[in-house]
Amino acid sequence: MINKISLMAKETAQTPAVVSRQLRANREVLEDLSQKIRGRRFRFIATCARGSSDHACAFAKYILEIGVGLPVVSFAPSVSTLYGGTVNLQDCLFIAVSQSGRSPDLIQATQAAKEQGAFIVCICNDSSAPLVDLADCFLPLHAGPENSVAATKSYIASLTVLLQLAAIWNLDSGLLPALDRLPDQLERGLRADWSEPTEIFATSSNLFTVGRGPGFGIALEAALKFKETSYIHAEAFSAAEVKHGPMSLVSDGYPVLVFRQRDQSWDSVGELASNFKEKGGAVFTAQEGAAGKGVLPVEANIHPFCQLPVMVQSFYVMAEKITQLRGLDPDNPRHLKKVTETV
């Protein structure tokens, strides 16, 4: 066991301050952006990202489709950069999300979108990045330097900037004040007791992560962190899809991590967790409510969309501990580096 204070742990602990700073600093920019885009007739929204940033976009798909009523599609950079395809992106809001803003394929794909007439919004942590130069509007993450290979504070900052965009664009009187309370909730999320499954996960080779709606983006991110920091083969599924085949793997203590926010998906996700247990799965559910066996506590009375960043905050603390239990260094996973440059 390495048993050191990792950069991953330190940077996760910085997240509440990052989000507080970001929400204040970006408010005026987002109000100006929202006025501009309310006056345009976009046909759809396209997101463009890789890795953890793409998982933030999976979260945003639900937030934006629910909030502003436009379809959100994931643009595959390889269509233009590798295959030379041309996609009609006129009258499209194109959101490029990247922690570094330096991956060649994202830059080329965003340039192609701009040439097609898309309105470009760039979400990035580095104001000097070449991706930012292509933006009609730049939304900084304000996360500060992130040195651990595993993205933590930059991922949660990506979630919150997308939440603030949706809230201001849609004039959401419920979500806007909820975001003001989020930094304190993230601070408490650092101290939530998610210790029960650490030994089980640390000794597992395979597991599922499950969420529904915007929670699916969180499940994707959790699966990635298990793979990259702990070398556990984790697969993420939507709670609406997992019965279409993958459910047959669950038996005899197979580990399952479920993210369950208090929204319209609450009942169906709870029923699915019970089905996993009936089939013998070792099921752990992140949810609000009474503590109990298999329940990973999440603060109640939070806007359901804000519950998800808080869940990720608690998950990162747990994931870092699991990595250490496996005798691994969460800051230096094998075969990986901080900036991935895909062409």
Decide if 338 is catalytic: yes
pLDDT of the residue at 3: 58
pLDDT in tens, 125-141: 999 999 999 999 999 99
- Strands, E assignment, 26-172: 44-48, 72-74, 92-98, 119-124, 137-140
Backbone torsions φ then ψ of 105, nearest 5 degrees: -70, -35
DSSP label of 118: P
pLDDT in tens, 143-189: 999 888 889 999 999 999 999 999 999 988 899 999 999 999 999 99
What residues contact 207, with CB distance under 8 A and at least 6 apart? 201, 226, 232, 233, 234, 235, 254, 255, 256, 257
pLDDT in tens, 99-127: 999 999 999 999 999 999 999 999 999 99
What residues contact 21, with CB distance under 8 A and at least 6 apart? 142
- Strands, E assignment, 141-218: 206-211
Nearest-5° angle of CA 331, CA 337, CA 342?
150
Query: Exactly one of 4, 36, 243, 338 is catalytic; which is it?
Result: 338
- What are 99's two structure tokens? 């922690």
- Domains assigned to the chain: 7-179 (3.40.50.10490), 192-325 (3.40.50.10490)
pTM of the model: 0.94
